[in-house]
A and B are shown apart, each in its own frame.
Chain A
Amino acid sequence: MKLSSNLDPLTETYGIPFYLQYLAHWPEYFIVAEAPGGELMGYIMGKAEGSVAREEWHGHVTALSVAPEFRRLGLAAKLMEMLEEISERKGGFFVDLFVRVSNQVAVNMYKRLGYSVYRTVIEYYSASNGEPDEDAYDMRKALSRDTEKKSIIPLPHPVRPEDIE
């Protein structure tokens, strides 16, 4: 999964600006894991955003990927744990992420890590031709600052992409 030649169909390769934008703004949220032989095992990137006043200040997982040969080692969980720790330190109320509703493997993994579906976002993903493609689950896990776990109470209705922040 070397980013320079990531050929895993489930790992998106973004344009350089995308990575630079995150590195410039949230460098601490960009974590890579390397194997003893120097191979890149996986990486996570994220950001902190939202209004503190409205108790929406939170950590967001933008991308998480583990190279195929380093799967089933618990690496994704470790990377998520690190991102949550960073978000805790920043005083976030929760951590959230978006995932394709069809990606059952990922949805189940996030559930095991303590995430739950907060809402469904209709046609969040689009195909390469720009046509709406698939819905997303917005999954959340409350952090210690949200003592009453208010941030993760599921919304009763799905929302549209333009309604999310």
Chain B
Amino acid sequence: MAARGHVQDPNDRRLRPIYDYLDNGNNKMAIQQADKLLKKHKDLHCAKVLKAIGLQRTGKQDEAFTLAQEVATLEPTDDNSLQALTILYREMHRPELVAKLYEAAVKKVPLSEEYHSHLFMAYARVGEYKKMQQAGMALYKIVPKNPYYFWSVMSLVMQAISAQDEKLAQTMFLPLAERMVEKMVKEEKIEAEAEVQLYFMILERLGKCVEALDVIRGPLGEKLTSELQSRENKCMMLYQRLQRWPECNALAHKLLLKNPDDWQFYPSYFDSLFHLIDQSWSPPEEGEHCPEGAVHHTVAEVVRFVEERIKGEDGKESRSLRGPYLARLELIHRLRERGCPEESMLGDPLELMVQFFGKFGDKPCCITDLKIYLHLLSPDQHVQFVNRLSEAVPLGERGEEGFAFPDDTKALQRHLCVCQLSRALGLHHALDVDGKLRLIVELKAHYRHGLKFGKNALKTELQFSDMYCLMAAHVYIDLWKETGDENMVWQGLGVLQEGLSHSASNAQFKLLLLLLYCHLGAFEPVVDLYSSLDAKHVQHDTIGFLLTRYAESLGQFAAASQSCNFSLRFFHSNQKDTSEYIIQAYKYGAFEKIPEFIALRNRLNQSLHFAQVRTERMLLDLFLEADIVLSLEESVKAMSLSAEEDDIPWDNMRDNRDLTVFTSWDPKDRELTAEHRRQSLEEESVWLRIRSLTLRLLASLAGSGHAPSQQNSEIANENGVGDKSSILSGLLSQLNQTLQTANQIAEKRIQYPFLGPPSTRLAPALSSGSCQCQAAALQLSVHLQELETVGLDESTELQTQICNAFKSLVVQLQEILNKCKGDLLDMKEGKLKTWPSLLENLIFFVETVCIVLWMASHCAKILRPLKTSLQKKKKKKKKDANTAQPVVVCGFQELTGSLQDLLTQALEYIKGQETGITALKLASLSLDEYPQDEASFMKAAMDKVQSSYLRSLQEAGDLLKKRAETIKNLKI
């Protein structure tokens, strides 16, 4: 607690020990000390608040809140209390109360700059823009400092940005903001750069580009000095918006003259040329072409300009910049797009690319630079191109194996670049199986040879030849996908493990290993691989999906929970953090950043991954604990899960996954497309909807017991039971609709690139039958509700219906279980083969059995009282006291018996698999055909997979055993 009152008064001295205890995390002592102090000084309000902070931090939120409100209602005006309450409210996530606090304080001390300023910030924290505008003006009236005035202006801009109605923004908020600034301009009161920035922002948002340009080019623009090229960049943007192509062209080439490597101006330069041509623009007969100077309005001029920049680079003694060379290729590309014959003035793309390679082929970025211009070559030039490049790679003499190797790292980089370009041209993919195998041998030879250049590399450094190793793995994957031969993937894993052993920080090795293990159904090795990537903060959002997609589906529940937690912790802290920096941006006048910060916050809050981990985390908790540790009802309550609430931003979902995190040199036709991204997001959303509806249906199941939970009792009394059942049926019909959509998506069998987004669990969930079975179980709750109202007396038809549903559930569960029978790992003819889909199906079975058991438990709760009341009635009648049980009771007993059988079956299967897998003698695999090193890396990978399968089986088995225990509680 750094910030405290400035004035030294005796209270400060008295309070100090409490502050110290709190700062040191000794909350109990802080509370005691506060109590002691309060005995002597009843009216020392701040002590109460500090005590409340202690209580809050020891988990006594309710007490803390009550105590805080005692002080708050007194409307304190002492610094200590105000600041302590501010801290407390923030920790309680109740920032709106801080605003209330200072509203009261400024009423009592209306001339306090400090309190008004706190009030402004409190509003900023909750995004109350209108009140901020007023608070800013109030401040300015007390102390006429420019920043306060412009806080108020900025708050108007924020009202415009957040307005639902764009018209309101354009006709009210922004014009008002503009007038406020104009007033200051007229009075010549503009002081700071930030104020001009804000003026520019307003004009720009109003679309007043001409006015904005005048500001930037006028005296006010001279204040824009902090940012490099700020005025130029802003002018360029305005010229483009105003379609002032002569100015745009002149400014672009002026800036390029200054820095021919500043890529951003080449596109503007070329664009403006084509616009000028389209408009048949010609320069005025006399005088300047335009206010920015000379205009290049013909292709010839632009070609000459680019050629001159290249000559400049060619003639330089220092390092050549690649910008001009790339600009030439870009210009050819654009001329070709327009069908301009002048393209030939620049030369033959093949020659130019060979020349580029000659100059920059030893830089690792050469592949990235050239890749985007490969389409300038015709397909029949591809081989010729690669041959020409190969000629320019200095290699040594051919060795025994027939390969020639580079003598230094520059030559290595050139050779590697040729390999990368060959792959990007599709030449690798065109090879047959033998050709690919030969290619792998060559890549591996180059990889191992290149290791000699990095013998002294630090642990954090990569080996120069790592990319060969990665590429060899890519070709193995091609072969695996093409032939289905799993040996290819074992070899791929082997070569990557080998690579990692020489280059411990290579993230690409780790990522690809991780992906391959997941595809083989083994999540255990992934945990270490991912943690060694040291992914943190925002990366949980961008690559966290790699973990969460597979952990649960492969039955590693503990790791799955942990993976969700990593991400959740990040998302939760983001919400708090951002508002502090919005406030700082106000303080420092970084007005342009404020909308950006808010956009970032929204982007994270609306993240697909965030919604997924929220949902899956709760589902996991239920699968692992509900009815085992706590009852389903208690679990649902503990999560404050409610059937009514849907907190997922379905319409604004943001896909923040980094789907290009894997390095790939695949040709364009195999690359991830925008359509893939769209389909993947759609698929993810549908799967998320199924999971989220399942969760909410479980919540409704837990909430629809006899005693409505106290919290909801008011609502229940008000709206009656009818409302609850309408929520239930609403959710069920949504689930059924979503399942239909899901089926349509699954039928499309969309294939993403291997290194692109993973497919969701949706298709396998449908084909295993688990989705359908879960939905059927949840559907039962409607009938049970009905039965609860009618009772057992006169409901034979309904009871039969329910019994049939019971039977059908058992049949469906048995079918899912049948789909996982078979060996998860087998060895035939000395080869190891995995069957990950069996494991996936087993996990679907586990999840589905949990849901069916909860339904059964719910059912038991409904049947027990019904049965008792029926027996009472019958006792009265006495006569037929011994007649048969009601149909539904028999059916239920049958159900629990069958569930018991199913669980026994599943557990036996798991036990059998565990025995079988443990008994697999991987040592007896025939790996003799491989060199010993390779064999040992492959063997290590196989061991990991074996161990991982055992762990998955164990986790699934443990959970099923616990679930089997719960069947005992189902007696009625």
Contacts and interface: CB of A to CB of B under 8 A. Distances in A.
B368 A23 contact: no
Given A5-B543, A70-B365, A89-B225, 9 more contacts: A4-B542, A16-B574, A16-B600, A23-B597, A24-B590, A28-B226, A36-B369, A73-B319, A90-B226
A5 B330 CA distance: 28
Nearest 10 CB-CB pairings of A with B: A7-B507, A20-B581, A28-B226, A24-B584, A24-B585, A9-B505, A28-B227, A5-B658, A69-B364, A4-B542
B661 interface: yes
Interface residues of B, number: 54
Chain A CB within 10 Å — which of B371, B507, B511, B574 has the most? B507
B674 interface: no
Contacts of A37: 368-369, 371-372
Chain B CB within 10 Å — which of A3, A14, A39, A69 has the most? A69
Nearest to A15: B537
Interface in B204-263: 225-228, 230, 263
Nearest to A38: B372
A35 B365 contact: yes
A70 B364 contact: yes
B352 to A, nearest CB: 15
Contacts of B539: 4-6, 13
A7 B535 contact: yes
Interface string B294-322: 00000000000000000000000001001
Contact of B226 (A14, A36, A73, A89): A89
Contacts of A68: 364, 462
Contact of B227 (A2, A10, A27, A72): A27
Chain A CB within 10 Å — which of B228, B511, B658 has the most? B228
Nearest to A29: B226
Contacts of B592: 27
Contacts of B590: 23-25, 27
B534 A9 contact: yes
Contacts, number: 123
A156 interface: no
A56 B592 CA distance: 29
Contacts of A13: 535-539
B704 interface: no
A68 B661 CA distance: 14
Interface string B505-516: 101100100000
B584 A21 contact: yes
A103 B383 CA distance: 43
B658 A4 contact: yes
A147 to B, nearest CB: 22
A34 interface: yes
Interface in B533-550: 533-539, 541-543
A85 interface: yes
B363 interface: yes
A17 interface: yes
A16 B369 contact: no
A8 B507 contact: yes
A44 to B, nearest CB: 12
A82 B261 CA distance: 14
Contacts of A72: 363-364
B640 interface: no
Interface residues on A, range: 35 or more
B426 to A, nearest CB: 19
Contacts of B541: 4
Contacts of B228: 28, 31, 82, 85-86
Contact of B577 (A3, A16, A82): A16
A71 interface: yes
Contacts of A35: 263, 365, 368-369
B593 A27 contact: yes
B581 A23 contact: yes
Contact of A36 (B372, B507, B543): B372
A130 interface: no
A25 B588 contact: yes
A16 B573 CA distance: 10
Interface in A21-75: 21, 23-25, 27-28, 31, 34-37, 39, 41, 68-74
B533 A7 contact: yes
B460 interface: yes
B225 A3 contact: no
Chain B CB within 10 Å — which of A15, A27, A70, A86 has the most? A27
Contacts of A2: 658
Chain B CB within 10 Å — which of A8, A14, A16 has the most? A16
Nearest to B533: A7
B578 interface: yes
Contacts of A6: 539
Chain B CB within 10 Å — which of A20, A34, A68, A89 has the most? A20
B662 to A, nearest CB: 10
Interface string B633-662: 000000000000000000000001010010
Interface in B23-80: none
Contacts of A23: 581, 585, 590, 593, 596-597
Contacts of B421: none
A7 B663 CA distance: 12
B886 to A, nearest CB: 60
Contacts of A9: 460, 505, 507, 534
B485 interface: no
A159 B457 CA distance: 31
B901 to A, nearest CB: 48
Nearest to B459: A9
B326 interface: yes
Contacts of A31: 228
Contact of B578 (A3, A5, A16, A82): A16
Given A16-B537, A37-B368, A10 B658 contact: no
A3 B584 CA distance: 22
B580 interface: yes
A82 B262 CA distance: 13
